[in-house]
Structure 1
Amino acid sequence: MPDATLDTIRLLDVRDTSLSVDEVLRAVTGPHVGGVALFVGTVRDHTPENPGEQVTELEYTAHPSAVEQLHAVAAKVAAEHPGTVLAAVHRTGDLAVGDLAVVVAAAASHRAEAFAACRALIDTLKEQVPIWKREQFRNGSHTWVGM
């Protein structure tokens, strides 16, 4: 990670263990922070790609370069939103409905900057970091998303 981002990117990870909103929130707080925006993505019981099908579980799989790509995404967002502090953790493995899949936070002196950076980080993460999900349906079928 470039030196310029060491103070602004505090926590980035892709892991197969449970996620903690508190861990991500702690990573971005500090005396200069006036606002924190959090995005918490959870496993839902339905999917827009297959209306009418009930999701029973998800399996997230990440490419070996996912953490490296996440660092590149965060560095880009940090450069586009100076003065923000960023953190993001994405889950892999088998997840049940209601489990945390991703937690993203952005902190700044003011709320507008925090909201903008948080939105940019989650949107760019979803577009560019190679993480895929397999949705398992109640009827026994499944589908891959993001491949």
Structure 2
Amino acid sequence: MSVSVQTDDFDVRQLQRDLLAGANAEGAVATFTGYVRAENVARDVYSMELEHYPGMTEKSIRDILEQSCKRWPVMSASVVHRVGKLMPGEQIVWVGISSAHREASFAACEFAMDYLKTRAPFWKRELGPDGATWVEARASDSARAGRW
């Protein structure tokens, strides 16, 4: 299990290789890569700034990966989440899950992303034409997370 909260960009191909390095490569890998949008809720986004509490954020993400490992037969799990100032089109988050079968990989990956969108201790502020606005979790994201 691996968790990284960082300012630097990441290489998706290397992350997947790392995910499989200690696990049986037979079976399934599900990944999700999220990018900063140029538009959010019909508002142009010039940049996004993400803040977090070091230590607390990583622990929180580790906890959700541990929960996913208890729910599904996960062989390996990894999350990389960026913080700091990001521009539209830049990578913001990567989640990778490996398991023996696709159903578990897909479900555990989606479970982790739903948690990251709604409960992980990140604070997002978008800068747009009308200035800076704090981004709150959407009702649709909370509803998705409520399924679990």
Task: Name the TM-score, length of structure 2 as normaliser.
Answer: 0.83
Q: In the alignment, residue 39 of structure 1 is paired with which amino acid? A: F
Task: Kindly state the Cα deviation for residue 75 of structure 1 after the two structures are TM-superposed.
Answer: 0.9
- Select 2:26's aligned residue among 29, 33, 39: 33
Unaligned runs of 5+ in 1: 1-8
Task: Kindly state the Cα deviation for residue 22 of structure 1 after the two structures are TM-superposed.
Answer: 2.0
Aligned-partner SS, 2:74: coil
Deviating above 4 A after TM superposition, structure 1's stretches of 4 or more consecutive aligned residues are none
- Select 2:62's aligned residue among 71, 78, 83: 71
Please give the alpha-carbon distance, in whole angstroms, between the structure 2 residues aligned to 1:141 and 1:85. Answer: 41
Indicate conservation of the 8 Å contact 1:84/1:114, yes or no: no
Aligned residues: 134
Please give the alpha-carbon distance, in whole angstroms, between the structure 2 residues aligned to 1:84 and 1:120. Answer: 15
**In structure 1, what is the equivalent of residue 109 of structure 2?**
118
Task: Kindly state the Cα deviation for residue 127 of structure 1 after the two structures are TM-superposed.
Answer: 2.0
Please give the alpha-carbon distance, in whole angstroms, between the structure 1 residues aligned to 2:11 and 2:92. Answer: 10
Q: In the alignment, residue 107 of structure 2 is paired with which amino acid? A: A
Please give the alpha-carbon distance, in whole angstroms, between the structure 1 residues aligned to 2:52 and 2:136. Answer: 11
**In structure 2, what is the equivalent of residue 107 of structure 1?**
98
Q: Mark the CA change 1:131 to 1:144 in structure 2 (over 3 Å): closer, same or farther.
A: same
**In structure 2, what is the equivalent of residue 43 of structure 1?**
36
**In structure 2, what is the equivalent of residue 145 of structure 1?**
135
Task: Kindly state the Cα deviation for residue 89 of structure 1 after the two structures are TM-superposed.
Answer: 0.5
- Structure with greater helix share of residues: 2
Indicate conservation of the 8 Å contact 1:24/1:88, yes or no: no
**In structure 2, what is the equivalent of residue 97 of structure 1?**
88
Indicate conservation of the 8 Å contact 2:74/2:105, yes or no: no
Please give the alpha-carbon distance, in whole angstroms, between the structure 2 residues aligned to 1:118 and 1:100. Answer: 17
1:26-83, CA deviations, whole angstroms, 9 ceiling, x for partnerless residues? 23214343111110000111112xx2x2111111111231111111111111111123
Indicate conservation of the 8 Å contact 2:36/2:90, yes or no: yes
After superposition, where does 1:122-133 map in structure 2 within 5 Å? 122-133=113-124
Task: Name the TM-score, length of structure 1 as normaliser.
Answer: 0.84
1:59 aligns with 2:56: no
Q: Percent sequence identity over matched residues? A: 29
Q: In the alignment, residue 66 of structure 2 is paired with which amino acid? A: A
Aligned-partner SS, 2:8: coil
Unaligned runs of 5+ in 2: 138-148
**In structure 1, what is the equivalent of residue 14 of structure 2?**
23
